[in-house]
Structure 1
Amino acid sequence: MTTIKERLDILKAGDVISSEASTIAEQAVQRLSSQTHKLLPQNKVEMLVTHLASALTRISRGESIDAPPDELILEIEKSDLIQVAKREISWIQSNWAEEIPQSEIAFLKIHYVTIFQEIK
């Protein structure tokens, strides 16, 4: 099984993500692990870290993506875990030099809420 760091190193080697994005993504997962004190769902964490590092790299490269469907965003916003997800995203925003677009934030909310639901 590939570790998070190995996954990020592969993406960096392929110039899919930047070193800065890799660092923030790795720190975000470390932060998540230290706060939950539970075994994290590996597959969902891998999706989060891949999306996060890719998103930050897209932002720095001036690229964008479309937001997820409105129905999905509304469903995630109703979750009782949305505030915890927003706290983690706020940490990412405070550690990234550029503004994170709402479309990327929406996807991050989905990833975080999904992880928190599984470990709840």
Structure 2
Amino acid sequence: MSDLRERLDILFSTSTITPSAMKLCEATIEKFIHSENEKDYRKLITHLAMAITRVEREEELTAPPEEIMQEIRQSSHFPQAVEHVKWIESQTDIVLPDEERQYLIMHFVNASH
């Protein structure tokens, strides 16, 4: 079993993440992550699981610092990261708040380096 799936299993078994968060993360792993790049996506998958759970539990959200997002927007990987987040949103009925969307874009850009 992959490290990412093990991590998700632990989060799910302790009720840290919701069933829909688990399901969406599994689909995201299937779509974007391969064994050779799995380490690069640890933060993204963990954040995605927690983001979906936070939205479902109506917890307070904060956005990444604007200085970081300015740097992220300048990355050549930014357009692809935006498309990946759109795909994630298309896989769920949950509307991601902009704060969470920004974090996911940031994690996709960072994983692409």
Confirm or deny a common fold (TM above 0.5): yes
Aligned residues: 113
Structure 2: how far apart are the matches of 1:23 and 1:3? Answer: 16
Amino acid at match of 1:116: S
What is the aligned counterpart of 2:36 among 39, 60, 63? 39
Identity score, percent: 32
Q: Deviations over 1:19-67 (max 9, x none)?
A: 1111111211221136xxx82151x311111110100011111113210
TM-aligned CA deviation for residue 76 of structure 1: 0.4
TM-aligned CA deviation for residue 12 of structure 1: 0.6
Confirm whether residue 60 of structure 1 aligns to residue 44 of structure 2.
no
Match of 2:3 in 1: 3
What is the aligned counterpart of 1:73 among 60, 69, 74? 69
Match of 1:25 in 2: 25
Match of 1:114 in 2: 110
Structure 2: how far apart are the matches of 1:2 and 1:84? Answer: 25
Confirm whether residue 104 of structure 1 aligns to residue 91 of structure 2.
no
Amino acid at match of 2:36: L
Structure 1: how far apart are the matches of 2:10 and 2:110? Answer: 25
TM-aligned CA deviation for residue 18 of structure 1: 0.7
TM-aligned CA deviation for residue 2 of structure 1: 6.2
Moved over 6 A (4+): none
Check whether the contact 1:4–1:26 (CA below 8 A) recurs between aligned residues. no
CA RMSD of the aligned region, Å? 1.7
TM-aligned CA deviation for residue 5 of structure 1: 1.2
Structure 1, unpaired ranges of 5+: none
